[in-house]
Structure formats: C-alpha cells, structure tokens
C-alpha cells in the first residue's frame, strides 16, 4: 500500500481529496495539512510515497516545498493540485521536480488518473 500526504490549505478540498484517495484501496493517507511548513516538515519526517500538493499555501508555498522534497526526499512522487494554471507556473513546477499537474477545476477522475500516472 502506498502512503500519501495531502498538503492543501482549503479544508473542504483537502477532505474531498483525502476521501477520493482513500476510495482507491492501494493508498493510505498518512498526512493531511493545511499549512505549508507543517506539511513539509511532517513529510520530511514520515517520507510518504506520494504527495498531493497545492501551490498557494500559508507559511511555505508549494514551489518551495517541492524544491525541498527534491533535495531531501527525492523518491517521493509529487502531484501538483492547484487552481493556478499559468503555463509559466506549470513549467516552473515541472522543472522543480513535480511529476504531474491537475487543475482543481478538473473532475475527480482526473485527480485519480494523476495519482495512478505518478505512481
């Protein structure tokens, strides 16, 4: 079973994503955080297999978190789940080491597909 972290500041979205991930029996959500710094620190301690990461977060943004993960937990797969979709931002995130990008406006089936594609 793959371990998953969800770092998303909007509680309703975080809970919805967590439920969508839990519905897939091959995943176990071990970390949920609405704060970038706390989520990052917890992931560095617990080293999940997979992270669903928002970009705009309090205390530490997703791009900074991604760079830290690439350096300290490089085997962790990261899927960006964000409402911000400018081509330059997506390019920056992919260059920083993201394994995929799903827009928040996409159906949950796209998030599930992103999970499978990243792992």
Q: What is the pLDDT of residues 71-109, one digit of tens each?
A: 999 999 999 998 877 888 888 888 888 988 888 877 667
Strand boundaries in the chain, DSSP class E: 2-7, 27-33, 50-53, 77-82, 100-103
Overall pTM surpassing 0.85 (yes/no): yes
Structure tokens at 104: 């928040």
- Which CATH architecture group holds 2-118? 3-Layer(aba) Sandwich (3.40)
Give me the pLDDT at residue 73, please. Answer: 97
Phi, psi dihedrals of residue 14, rounded to the nearest 5°: -60, -45
Give bridge partners of residue 5 from the DSSP assignment.
31, 51
**pLDDT 10s digits, 41-64:** 999 999 999 999 999 999 999 999
Q: Is the pLDDT of residue 6 over 90?
A: yes
SS3 for 92? helix
Phi, psi dihedrals of residue 15, rounded to the nearest 5°: -65, -40
Sorting pLDDT into bands at 50, 70 and 90, what band is 115?
Answer: low
Break the chain into its structural domains and give their ranges: 2-118
């Amino acid at each position: 079973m793959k371990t998953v972290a969800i770092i998303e500041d909007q509680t309703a979205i975080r809970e919805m994503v967590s439920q969508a991930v839990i519905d897939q029996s091959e995943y176990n959500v071990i970390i949920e955080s609405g704060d970038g710094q706390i989520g990052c620190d917890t992931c560095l301690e617990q080293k999940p297999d997979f992270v669903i990461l928002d970009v705009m977060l309090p205390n530490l943004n997703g791009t900074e978190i991604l760079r830290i993960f690439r350096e300290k937990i490089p085997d962790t797969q990261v899927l960006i789940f964000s409402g911000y979709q400018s081509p330059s931002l997506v390019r920056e995130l992919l260059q920083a080491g993201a394994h995929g990008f799903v827009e928040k406006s996409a159906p949950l089936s796209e998030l599930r597909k992103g999970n499978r594609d990243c792992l």
